[in-house]
Structure 1
């Protein structure tokens, strides 16, 4: 099979989604498939290279040329509408690589929508978040879980998140593009039942099935043991948080919970600084930024337990799987896809989101009870087998085969616009998209 992955960021960018796409691409190459990845070009990186047998093509769009639109020049996000530059680049990649299946993982899929043809590549979309229904992708409104979309409410959230002008454009584009996605995508793959419900796929027009994120089978055997960053870790076992250091991930709740504990193990946080990252932390807290994946996995092997206190609907947290693969019990909040992975008192502990007292009690219980830790660690090792590449990868292959065997006709028009008018000349046909 000839497969093209679409992802706005890719290795060496750091993040769970980026790692998922790289691991999936590598798994598919190992199974004998031809795999290419189209991703947004970044300064200092080649336009084309081969990474572990995967052909990487970095493409440029018009929006990426306006660096002032982005707070981080190294993360020039793709808009929720077709960027003509990206669409033209994708057309060339699809033709030259003779692609049969396009597998999109985020808003870069919008650049492919004008190229969608009934006799062209099939389109599979993994939903890693709530972007199909929520312009901020998180379904958080004023610090609480959102009750559902509404024009005035969504406009306010978009303005707060992106700025007034950018927010209104992004909101309108995402609503319009969402309708096109539901008509043109051949199969949605939400990473959890919570993502399926949050994106309103249930009883919708597009076929879908839950396929979770996964980790490599050998994820708990990393290289890089001599990484100098590891010297900064506490010598004694510690409680470990890995992820973006942002409010959505519950780091402020974790800080309050830990500050109220006496004699607790050290707290270690490894993640990316964000605009809402706290500037002060309790004593005995160690904060590290932008570590490579191998170093993070070594940190897991030295930890006592892991914690993910997200306050919003976490989609399907790979970090929970990585901690469990390392044989560590996990403390997580009972939101989103977390309960699909962490089963209370079986492989970890679940607490209510935003409950700093409950979180503190869970940390204290694991720190004080070695027998509890050992029992939950054994449960973690058993559970994580279902979230490894050898279990999840073949399910994705089966989806590819199914969408090729049961082609879903693409509508001739959308929102009154003929797709032939949007495409480049000659973009139709078996190889052209």
Structure 2
């Protein structure tokens, strides 16, 4: 098949979503498909590059020319509505590549919707977060759980998050284009049952599947070279957090819980600094910013266990897969995609989200119980097999190759294929 990926960002810009698109594209090429990626330009990438069998096309849009709209130069997000210039450039690529499947990831799919009627390609959309329901993608309102979308509430929330003008345009466009997505997409893929439920797919009319993200088959193999950054790590046996260093990821809860522990191993934080990153750290805490992935994987190998105390409902949790594939167990918040990936008592332990006492007590127990750690590590390593590309990519191929299902009128329940790592 000829598969066209639509992704806002692609390496060298990297994050959980970007790594998934990168890994999926390369895995599909390895399985004999032709894959092209349409993405935003990057100063370190040519307009067209051929990377490991994947042709990457950098397409310029009008919105991206207004650099003042974006807080990060490397992440000029596409809007939740068609950008005329970007859609035009995408149409030229579609005409040339002639895809059998167009696979959209987040808001980049809006740039293709005006082209859908003129093309016979099947349109698949992976929801990596809550952007189908929430214009700020987190399901948080005033720092707390949101009860659901509402015009006035969403306009206010997006305005506070993005700024008054940009936020209100984003939220308004989000309400207008959501029905168009429902009609245009042939199959949704949600990265967790939490995302499927919170995005309204469960009661919708569009067929969907739940397929979490995955890791490359060889990710568990030690990298050939040793990154010099690793010399900064404390001795092996530290506790490890990997992710954006903000309150949503529970960093403030983690630091409070760690400060209560006596004679605990060092705590290592690796991630991207954000406006919510703490300025002061407790003793014996090490913070390293934005390490390359191969260095992070080395860090996983050398830790005692990992920590994912997210206070918001995490959509998935690739860090769980990365820890498990090298035989490390995780302590994770008991909600969202994290709870679905971590089997409590078998591959890791759950804690109450946002509860400092729960996290501190569980950390203390796992530090002091080597037998429990070994048992959970065995379960984590066994579970990692279901996270690998060879287990997951065939499920996505099945969606690509299946005929478009007839939707039930009146918004009735769609025929759904629930697929998880347990299956």
* Fold-level similarity (TM above 0.5): yes
After the TM superposition, which residues 223-238 of structure 1 pair with which residues of structure 2 at under 5 Å, given as runs?
223=223, 225-238=225-238
Mark the runs of 5 or more structure 1 residues left unpaired by the alignment: 410-433
Distance 1:316 1:223 in 2: 25
Match of 1:414 in 2: none
Aligned pairs for 1:200-279 (under 5 A) are 200-223=200-223, 225-279=225-279
- Taking the TM superposition and a 5 Å limit, the aligned residue runs for 1:71-86 are 71-86=71-86
Structure 1 counterpart of 2:404? 406
Q: Is 2:366 aligned against 1:361?
A: no
Shift of residue 294, structure 1, vs aligned partner: 0.7
Alignment of 1:140-219 (within 5 A): 140-219=140-219
Shift of 1:57: 0.5
- Residues 242 and 270, structure 1, Cα contact 8 Å, conserved in 2: yes
Report the more deviating stretch, 62-71 or 149-158. Answer: 149-158
2:12–2:44 Cα contact (<8 Å) kept:
no
Pairwise CA distance, 1:152: 2.5
Residue 113 of structure 1 corresponds to 113
Question: Partner residue of 1:57?
Answer: 57
**Normalising by structure 2, what TM-score?**
0.94
Partners of 2:341 and 2:66 in 1: CA distance: 40
**DSSP 3-state at the match of 1:116:** helix
- Residue 247 of structure 1 deviates from its aligned partner by 1.1
1:256-299 C-alpha deviation (Å, 9 max, x unpaired): 11111111111111111112111111111111111111110000
Deviation at 1:202, TM superposition (A): 1.2
* Partner of residue 321, structure 2: 321
Once the two structures are superposed, the pairs formed by residues 367-406 of structure 1 within 5 Å of their partners are 367-402=367-402, 405-406=403-404
Measure how far apart 1:335 and its partner are. 1.3
Give yes or no for contact 1:86–1:111 (8 Å, CA) kept in 2: yes
User: Hey, what's the Cα distance between the residues in 1 that align with 2:38 and 2:301?
Assistant: 33
User: How far apart, in 2, do the equivalents of 1:389 and 1:239 lie?
Assistant: 27
Distance 1:169 1:106 in 2: 17
CA contact 1:118–1:408 (8 Å) conserved in 2:
no
Q: Deviations over 1:190-220 (max 9, x none)?
A: 0111000000111212111111111112111
8 Å contact from structure 2 (residues 246, 277) kept in 1:
yes
**Higher relative contact order, chain-length normalized (CA < 8 Å, sep 6+):** 1
Aligned-pair CA distance for 1:224: 5.0
SS of structure 1 residue aligned to 2:42: coil
Structure 2: give runs of 5+ residues left out of the alignment: 408-423
Corresponding residue for residue 25 of structure 1 = 25
CA contact (8 A) 1:240 1:268 kept: yes
**Deviation digits for residues 344-396 of structure 1 (CA, Å, limit 9, x no counterpart):** 11111101110111111111111111101000001111222212111110000
Secondary structure, aligned partner of 2:210: coil
**Displacement of 1:408 after TM fit?**
6.3
Structure 1 position 407, deviation (Å): 6.7
Q: 3-state SS of the aligned residue for 1:346?
A: coil
Shift in Å, 1:124: 0.2
Output the aligned Cα RMSD. Answer: 1.3
Question: How far apart are the structure 2 equivalents of 1:190 and 1:44?
Answer: 31
Give CA deviations for 1:26-62 in whole Å, capped at 9, x if unaligned.
1000000000111100223211111111001011000
Provide the rounded CA distance (Å) in 2 between the counterparts of 1:86 and 1:318: 30
- Correspondence 1:137 to 2:137: yes
> Contact 2:155–2:172 (CA<8 Å) still a contact in 1?
no
User: How far apart, CA to CA, are the structure 2 residues paired with 1:93 and 1:108?
Assistant: 14
Which deviates the most, 218-227 or 356-365?
218-227
Separation in structure 2 between the aligned mates of residue 312 and residue 302 of structure 1, nearest angstrom: 28
TM superposition outliers: structure 1 runs of 4+ over 3 Å: none
1:143 deviation in Å?
Answer: 2.1
CA distance in structure 2 between the aligned counterparts of 1:287 and 1:105, rounded to whole angstroms: 31
Cα shift at 1:236: 3.0
Maintained 8 Å contact 1:40/1:58? yes
Match of 1:427 in 2: none
Equivalent residues of 1:122, 1:407 under 8 A apart? no
Q: Contact 1:225 / 1:298 at 8 angstroms: preserved in 2? A: no
Q: 2:191, 2:315 within 8 Å by CA — same for their partners in 1? A: yes
| SS of residue in 1 equivalent to 2:209 | coil
Offset at residue 189 of structure 1 (A):
0.2
Distance, in Å, in 2 between the alignment partners of 1:117 and 1:286 is: 53
Match of 1:10 in 2: 10
Query: Which residues of 2 match residues 289-308 of structure 1 at below 5 A?
Result: 289-308=289-308
Shift of 1:306: 0.3
The verdict on how the C-alpha distance between 1:61 and 1:101 changes in structure 2, with shifts beyond 3 A counting, is same
Moved more, 47-56 or 114-123: 114-123
Match for residue 416 of structure 1? none
Matched, 1:351 2:351: yes
1:119 Cα deviation from its structure 2 partner:
4.8
SS at structure 2 position matched to 1:174:
helix
